Amino acid sequence: MPELNPSAGTALDPVTLAVLRGRLEQIADEMDATLYRSAFNPIIAEAHDACHGLYDADSGDTLVQGKSGLPVFVGAMAFAVRAAAQAAAGRGGMREGDTWLFNDPYDGGTHANDFKLVRPFYRDGRLFCYLASAAHWHDVGGAVPGNYNPAATECWQEAVQIPPVRIVRQGQLDEDVLAILRANTRLPDSLWGDLNGQLAALELGAVRLHSLLDEYGDERVLTAMRELRERALRLMRAHIATLPDGDYAFEDVLDNDGVRNTPLTIALDMRVRGDRLTLDFTRTSPQCEGPVNISRATAVAACYVALKHLFPDVPANAGVLDAVDFVLPDGLVISAARPRPVGGYTETILRMIDVMFSAMAQADPKRAMAHAYGTINALSIAGHRTDAARRGQRWVMFSFFGGGHGGHADGDGLSHGNAPISTATIPPLEILEAAYPVRFTQWALRPDSGGDGEHRGGLGAIYEIELLEEQAEAFIFGERGTSAPKGIAGGQPALPNVFEFQQGDEWVRPPMVSKMLGIPLRKGQRVRLQTPGGGGYGDPAQRSPAARAQDAAQGWVSSTTGKVST
């Protein structure tokens, strides 16, 4: 971060600090809103699978994030900013008016659908900070429309790989880079609209930040950024110090990697010593053939999200991680290197969050939540139009789906929520039906799917989708088909995930339970998802008779005993 002028008198009173925190967050919020309103892709426009933030000029660390962007993106984007700065250092350096673009998941985190744009922000010729945007583009090449390829064994089978490049050079869009991007997608118009939305968001962010600095002064705003990080660190240390010193361990599994039908372990040994927290994932399975690997950047971002759930009052910036030590040896499924495929990163980071919740529950059960449903159930149905007006036109319906959240000390889990890695929303069925030749024949809560407990887990959902075109091909990339979300503090597990599809007159399940590629569909055939609920919290014997009676009356469980069938 640029050096302050020590003679400028930059001490901040609490009111001014609070005002500047709100104004900085508002800049990120406005960038989010700009992209949501302008993107062509429903995953961004409706589901809000994107984020924006402000990042340190020297370290790339997170300074500010918005309240509506995906937290896991914000954590990973610190690595993305550093990757862009490193690339620029070897190619003439950062320059005012440039914007860097890339989708490298090994340096910038997450997966290749998530395109990162990094714009250096200059103030009177001095690099003040970085503005950055991340968003999930609909389709970026690869073997499978939508890019969640459950059979991928290397990254090039998942999507086109774009290293950090200048998409804008001194204020001018680079048409050569744009041509490469448009040539590597099945949906070039969608790509063009999403890219423009991100560029517009960054431009608005620059305008708003200049206005803030004009009003309050550069040194005062820089001081606020530093103080917010320091406060996050102090608050994290204070929270950790309230936990009993000790070693807390938990492990869980992924169903398989999509290539080999063998469970993969995500293991955490959590150590609390005074006001320091150590997260040691050494016992986790080695990197695998299939696409459930994640990079180290993504793993750290997942821990950031889990810590924000566990300590929600801590300001959302790099100070959250300053009190935490990570042990992440190379070559694990959560520290994989190129070319190991990483397209299904969402499933693995959800399991990391689960094990962190369960380890924390051993130290302080009132702070933790039971496991949420633990899978986004990435589903794609794709084909070509056959009507006269659009004959041969490519269509790709890609979406993710909801489930139940875990019970907690204050009450039952949320039913039909989105994954705890984000603040995104589940795309509305009306939008999906309007955009694609499909019809939802069922969209309902799944009875009996939440784990029993003093506080019941939330319910999962049932989605049934009928194809209206002559033919199409589907794929599913999910999890929790063999290992259900777990309860904590004596709570019971939820029901596992179930995916089925019609072939002739029969309903069929994938050989690997939660993952399958190349599912042929004919007009009128359906696919069906029954998503997991959340785990229960606390001893089921402590659940009140009134709560059980209400569960049964609402149809959430099949009896007042709380016993459910699997």
What tokens does 117 get?
């744009």
Asked whether 44 and 135 are in contact (CB, 8 A), the reply is: yes
pLDDT digits (tens, 9 = 90+) for 207-256: 999 999 999 999 999 999 999 999 999 999 999 999 999 999 999 999 99
DSSP label of 361: H
Contacts of 30 (CB under 8 A, 6+ apart): 204, 205, 208
**pLDDT at residue 11 is higher than 80:** no
DSSP label of 484: P
**pLDDT for the residue numbered 2:** 53
pLDDT digits (tens, 9 = 90+) for 457-481: 999 999 999 999 999 999 999 999 9
Q: Rounded to two decimals, what is the model's pTM?
A: 0.92
CA distances from 341 to 149, 211, 258 (A): 9, 43, 11
Q: What are the backbone angles phi and psi of residue 172, rounded to the nearest 5°?
A: -115, 130
| Furthest-apart CA atoms within the chain: distance in Å | 80
**pLDDT at residue 70 is higher than 80:** no
DSSP label of 260: S
Q: How far apart are CA 405 and CA 389, in angstroms?
A: 44
Single-letter amino acid code for the residue at 149: N
**pLDDT for the residue numbered 1:** 54
User: What is the per-residue DSSP string for 497-538?
Assistant: -EEEEEETTEEE--TTSSEEEEEEEETT-EEEEE---PPPBS
Rg of the chain over all Cα atoms, to the nearest angstrom: 23
Contacts of 101 (CB under 8 A, 6+ apart): 115, 116, 117, 118, 162, 164, 165, 166, 167, 177, 195
438's enclosing H/E stretch is strand 438-445
For β-strands 515-522 and 471-477, DSSP reports them as antiparallel
| pLDDT interval class at 10 (50, 70, 90) | low
- What is the arithmetic mean of pLDDT over 82-86? 95
Number of Cα atoms under 13 Å in the Cβ half of residue 544: 5
pLDDT digits (tens, 9 = 90+) for 256-313: 999 999 999 999 999 999 999 999 999 999 999 999 999 999 999 999 999 999 999 9
pLDDT digits (tens, 9 = 90+) for 13-66: 999 999 999 999 999 999 999 999 999 998 899 888 899 999 999 999 999 988
Asked whether 262 and 256 are in contact (CB, 8 A), the reply is: yes
- What is the arithmetic mean of pLDDT over 510-518? 95
**pLDDT for the residue numbered 5:** 43
Residues found in the chain: 566
Asked whether 385 and 469 are in contact (CB, 8 A), the reply is: yes
DSSP label of 163: -
Q: How far apart are CA 50 and CA 66, in angstroms?
A: 11
**pLDDT for the residue numbered 9:** 43
Asked whether 151 and 290 are in contact (CB, 8 A), the reply is: yes
Mean pLDDT of the chain: 93
Q: How far apart are CA 165 and CA 193, in angstroms?
A: 19
**pLDDT at residue 423 is higher than 50:** yes
DSSP label of 458: P
